[in-house]
Amino acid sequence: MRAADLFLRLFLHLQYVLWYTHNMMFSKKKVMTKKKKISPVLIFFLTLGGILLVGLSGLLFLSLQTGKRGVQQAWNTGADENGGQDGSGQDNLEGKDNAEGKTPLHSLWEMIPEKQAAAEEEEEKEPYADILRDPEYMAANRIYEKKSSEDGRVTLCFAGDILFDDEYAVMAKLKNRGGAIENGISEALISEMRAADIMMINNEFPYTNRGTPTEGKTYTFRADTDTVHYLDDLGVDLVSLANNHCYDFGETGLLDTLDTLQQDGIPYAGAGRNLEEAAAPVYFISGGMKIGFLSATQIERLDNPDTKGATEGAAGVFRCWNPEKLLAVTEETRKNCDFLVVYIHWGTENVAEADWAQLDQAPKIAQAGADLIIGDHPHCLQGIQYFGETPVFYSLGNFWFNSKTLDTCLLKVTLTDSRIESMTFIPAVQSGCYTSLAEGEEGQRVISYMNSLSTGVFIGSDGSINRQE
């Protein structure tokens, strides 16, 4: 109802009441003559009526002004999803609502409390709804949406090194067996990987058909760009490129790798076209949580390494032999997410014990804000240790990398309310260019071995990882 209509109705109703009251009181009495004074009773009621009319008008005016401000505020902040502006830049809510048979502008203010309650409920249900509605912002800030399999709970899964190079044993065997990834990695492990909400591995090679191998380097890897589909087959959501092989075919090979992963829709961390990109985190919004991922490498520990570190103007990896940059990025990234994973290439090859550099950097990275630290590079398993509330898995070892017989694993981490709810060590064995789930006595052997390497934790027979004081 418009303000003018409401005002007129109130006035007419009040006028009728006054007229009816006067007639009832004086119809049976004498009639007033021109010389007689106006009845005091009539004056009283007229005065009272005027006061009431002025009061109601004031209240109506204030209510309408408050309502207009509420509607305008809602429109300006985008609360009214049906609002808009016409070509003149003026608000055009009323016309759009009326065209759809909805409540007109002059009454929208009555709905503001309900709209605000609905917005608050939506915000509580999905804290990052505003980000998810802005694909340009997400793309610019490397933010990805991943639906969780269970509301309020997110499962992360991690594996170590993989290799898709056609000239090495694992791929040669895979092709001889038919080419499907299930012929290289058991279906039981693949099922675990695909079941995870977010799956991450170390991509220890470039995807390229070009470039020149690094001179003097013993092992140089590369994979045909078409092999990237194996990541999809494994359910991989994110790869680390911060390692000592993604630059094996120079800048050309690295740039081809970045392009290949982007074209396939696989996010990457730890390398880039410049230092800003290489050091940039990747975020996933899943289960109402914003989870950040960083990746960096200590390898190689030389003044002029074969694997070039990214600079402001050149492509390369995010190096952290000098950890100050990594620590600063870790601290800043943690401010922008609910949970932070740092995946780091470090340690000494084929050595099961963490070296001095790992032991030096791990507590610093934890203190800077990492909620979980995952390591690789040694090509074998290394133990687990806590620094504060942050678990450190020094090395996940090879996952599917060469022909050696090696113990390996998948690590499953479940998050609830932005904290670790549980962690599970899934034992596996790489043997004969095939990686399989370790079950029964073999599984218990791998678990026992991992317990012997770890400090302050105990892995149960079911793979559950429990902290011990």
pLDDT of residue 99: 45
Mean pLDDT, rounded, for 38-44: 58
Task: Provide the token pair at 74.
Answer: 């809602």
Burial bucket for residue 302 (CB in 10 Å: 0-12, 13-18, 19+) = exposed
Residues 188, 110 share a domain: no
Q: What is the pLDDT of residues 156-173, one digit of tens each?
A: 999 999 999 999 999 999
Question: For residue 336, is pLDDT > 90?
Answer: yes
Domain check: are 271 and 302 in the same one? yes
Identify the band that residue 154 occupies on the pLDDT scale cut at 50, 70 and 90: very high
Mean pLDDT of 8-13: 56
Question: Is residue 419 very low, low, confident or very high in pLDDT (cuts 50, 70, 90)?
Answer: very high
Q: pLDDT band at 214, cuts 50/70/90?
A: very high
Query: CA torsion angle for 349, 355, 356, 359 (degrees, to 10)?
Result: 120
313: containing domain = 132-467
111 and 145 assigned to the same domain: no
Confidence class for position 71, pLDDT limits 50, 70, 90: very low
| pLDDT score for 350 | 97
Q: Is residue 356 part of a domain?
A: yes
Confidence of residue 262 (pLDDT cuts 50, 70, 90): very high
Q: Is residue 127 part of a domain?
A: no
Determine the pLDDT at residue 43: 61
Q: pLDDT > 70: what percent of the chain? A: 73
Residue 147 located in a structural domain:
yes
Is there a domain that residue 85 lies in?
no
* pLDDT reading at 61 higher than 80: no
99 and 138 co-located in one domain: no
Same domain for 229 and 151, yes or no, is yes
- Same-domain status, 116 and 137: no
Does 319 lie in the same domain as 218? yes
- Overall average pLDDT of the 365-371 stretch: 98
CA end-to-end distance (rounded Å), the chain: 70
Residue 303 confidence (pLDDT): 78
pLDDT for 8 equals: 53
CA distance 173 to 162: 14
- Report the C-alpha gap between 110 and 63 in whole angstroms: 10
Residues 170 and 70 in one domain: no
DSSP strand pairing (153-162 vs 398-400): parallel
Q: Is residue 126 part of a domain?
A: no
Least trusted range by pLDDT, from 107-111, 230-234, 286-290, 336-340: 107-111
Q: Is the pLDDT of residue 223 over 70?
A: yes
Of the ranges 56-70, 285-299, 362-376, which one carries the lowest mean pLDDT score?
Answer: 56-70
Give me the pLDDT at residue 364, please.
98
Starting at the earlier edge strand, list the strands of the sheet with 384-387: 143-145, 282-286, 289-297, 339-345, 372-376, 390-393, 384-387
Angle at 227 between CA 221 and CA 232, to 5 degrees: 125
More confident residue, 34 or 389: 389
In this predicted model, which residue has the larger pLDDT, 151 or 63?
A: 151
Whether residue 92 is predicted with pLDDT greater than 50 in this model: the reply is no
The Cα-based distances of 463 to 1, 93, 199, 409, 446 in angstroms read 68, 59, 18, 10, 10
pTM for the predicted model, two decimal places: 0.76
Q: What is the mean pLDDT of residues 364-389?
A: 98
Report the distance separating Cα 323 and Cα 403, nearest Å: 34
Predicted pLDDT at 301:
85
**How far is Cα 372 from Cα 237, in angstroms, rounded to an integer?**
18
Q: What is the mean pLDDT of residues 264-270?
A: 98
Comparing 145 with 18, the larger pLDDT belongs to 145
Report the number of distinct structural domains present in the chain: 2
Residues 6+ apart with CB under 8 A from 334: 292, 340, 368, 369, 370, 371
The whole-angstrom separation of Cα 217 and Cα 166 is 18
Nearest to 108 by CA among 80, 129, 88: 80
Cβ(148)–Cβ(154) below 8 Å: yes
Mean model confidence pLDDT for the chain: 85
Residue pLDDT, tens place only, 124-144: 567 899 999 999 999 999 999
State whether 101 and 219 are in the same domain. Answer: no
Report yes or no: 435 and 408 within 8 Å, Cβ to Cβ: yes
Examine the domain organization and report whether 391 and 282 are in the same domain: yes
pLDDT at 12: 56
Name the nearest CA neighbour of 77 among 110, 139, 117, 119.
119
Predicted pLDDT at 302: 80
Q: Does the pLDDT value for residue 5 go beyond 70?
A: no
Tokens of 20: 């009816």
**Residues 299, 164 within the same domain:** yes
User: What CATH number has the domain bearing residue 413?
Assistant: 3.60.21.10
Q: Is the pLDDT of residue 375 over 50?
A: yes
Say what the pLDDT of residue 77 is: 46
The answer on 156 and 109 residing in a single domain is no
pLDDT at 343 over 80: yes
